[in-house]
Amino acid sequence: MKKVNYLPVWGFLLLLLGLVNLYLGFQIDRVISMVLGGMLVLLGILHFSNPAIVYSSSKIELKNLLGMTMKTYKFDTDQITVENNRIYSKGKKIAISPIRVNKGEMDEMIAFVSSIIDNDTAVKKEEVKKDKPVSEDEELLDA
């Protein structure tokens, strides 16, 4: 399974804010600042360790920072299409924020999804040709 990671900038920002908050919380002896700083540090670490999207040749999974799968889109049942570098399922845009994920990995995913869709379309066209009865005129043209 391939993955699309979060942008590291957001992880660094969360870590920095968390560490500053922890430091200030200890300096002024405020528990709320220490708790908030700890939560921000944890979110920053999770930004680096968990992917935003996991995909394979059969499905796309959107994940949260904790690593839980929030939404799954399957190629065979969800009618996935690609238009203008956006992925759609059943005509609705899949909610992927381009400012939160790695652009290079996202472009790779879009190319991969496009190739899967193109392969499926070619296979379906071949199946239709095989199932279609051939007339005598078409047989003569093919020969």
Q: Which residue has the higher pLDDT, 131 or 79?
A: 79
| DSSP single-letter state for residue 134 | P
| DSSP single-letter state for residue 6 | B
In the predicted structure, residue 139 carries a pLDDT above the cut 70 = no
Confidence of residue 75 (pLDDT cuts 50, 70, 90): confident
Long-range contacts of 70-78 (CB under 8 A, 24+ apart): 75/116, 75/117, 75/120
For residue 115, what are the CA distances in angstroms to 20, 93, 110, 111, 120? 45, 18, 9, 6, 9
2-54, pLDDT tens digit by residue?
999 999 999 999 999 999 999 999 999 999 999 999 999 999 999 999 999 99
* Distance (Å, whole) CA 98 – CA 86: 10
In the predicted structure, residue 106 carries a pLDDT above the cut 70 = yes
For residue 118, what are the CA distances in angstroms to 11, 24, 80, 126? 35, 55, 11, 12
Instruction: Check residue 141 and give its pLDDT.
Output: 55
Neighbour tally for 104: CB within 10 Å? 10
13-27, pLDDT tens digit by residue?
999 999 999 999 999
Claim: this prediction has a pTM higher than 0.85: no
Q: Which of 43, 60, 41, 56 is nearest to 6 (CA)?
A: 43
Domain map (residue ranges) of the chain:
2-131
Instruction: Check residue 84 and give its pLDDT.
Output: 86
